[in-house]
C-alpha cells in the first residue's frame, strides 16, 4: 500500500511534534499489541494537523498499525522463505524509485523549492 501525499505531510508533522516531545509513540500491550499516539489531547492537536483529534488518531492507526506493521509482516514472510540475501537489492531498488519520484515531482512542480 502506498502512502498518499496527506500521509506524507502527516508523518512529517508528527516527526516534528515527537522531536519536541509534545507527542510520543507508545506500545500498548493489552493482549493485542499495537502502537498508540500519546499526548494528543487539547486544541493544539487540531491546529497542528488541521484535522480533528479523532482524524489524527485514525490516520496514525492506519499508518503505523496497518501499513507500517503490514510491510514488516510481508518482509518477514519473504525473508523467512528466501533468506535475507535479497534485502540489499530490495533497498537499493526502493531508494532508486524514491529518487525517481522526487525528480519527477520536482519537474512537475517547478515553483516548489528544492527539498
pLDDT (tens digit, 9 = 90+) per residue, 73-115?
999 999 999 999 999 999 999 999 989 988 988 888 766 555 4
Number of domains comprising the chain: 1
With respect to residue 10, please indicate whether it lies within any of the assigned structural domains. yes
Say how far residue 56 (Cα) sits from the centre of its chain: 13
With respect to residue 44, please indicate whether it lies within any of the assigned structural domains. yes
pLDDT (tens digit, 9 = 90+) per residue, 52-72?
889 999 999 999 999 999 999
pLDDT (tens digit, 9 = 90+) per residue, 23-33?
999 999 998 89
Angle between helices 5-19 and 53-61 (to 10 degrees): 100
pLDDT (tens digit, 9 = 90+) per residue, 1-51?
688 989 999 999 999 999 988 899 999 999 889 999 998 777 778 888 988
Q: How far is CA 45 from CA 6, 14, 16, 22, 25, in A?
A: 16, 10, 13, 9, 15
Strand partners, 35: 27
User: What per-residue confidence (pLDDT) applies to 84?
Assistant: 94
For the chain, give the percent of residues with pLDDT over 70.
Answer: 94
User: What per-residue confidence (pLDDT) applies to 108?
Assistant: 82
User: What per-residue confidence (pLDDT) applies to 73?
Assistant: 95
Nearest to 35 by CA among 23, 47, 21, 43: 23
Q: How far is CA 98 from CA 16, 74, 84, 94, 104, in A?
A: 22, 20, 22, 6, 10
Task: Note down the domain range covering 68.
Answer: 5-83
With respect to residue 93, please indicate whether it lies within any of the assigned structural domains. no
Can you tell me whether residue 26 is helix, strand or coil? strand
With respect to residue 61, please indicate whether it lies within any of the assigned structural domains. yes
Yes or no: say if 22 and 39 are a contact pair by the CB < 8 Å rule.
yes
Q: Is the dihedral of CA 37, 43, 46, 47 positive or negative?
A: negative
With respect to residue 104, please indicate whether it lies within any of the assigned structural domains. no
Amino acid at each position: 500500500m502506498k502512502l498518499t501525499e496527506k500521509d506524507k505531510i502527516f508523518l512529517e508533522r508528527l516527526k516534528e511534534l515527537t522531536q519536541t516531545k509534545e507527542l510520543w509513540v507508545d506500545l500498548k500491550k493489552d493482549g493485542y499489541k499495537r502502537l498508540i499516539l500519546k499526548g494528543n489531547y487539547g486544541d493544539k492537536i487540531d491546529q497542528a494537523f488541521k484535522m480533528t483529534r479523532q482524524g489524527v488518531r485514525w490516520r496514525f492507526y492506519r499508518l503505523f498499525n496497518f501499513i507500517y506493521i503490514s510491510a514488516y509482516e510481508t518482509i518477514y514472510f519473504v525473508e523467512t522463505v528466501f533468506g535475507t540475501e535479497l534485502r540489499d537489492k530490495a533497498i537499493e531498488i526502493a531508494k532508486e524509485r524514491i529518487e525517481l519520484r522526487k525528480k519527477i515531482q520536482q519537474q512537475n512542480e517547478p515553483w516548489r523549492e528544492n527539498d
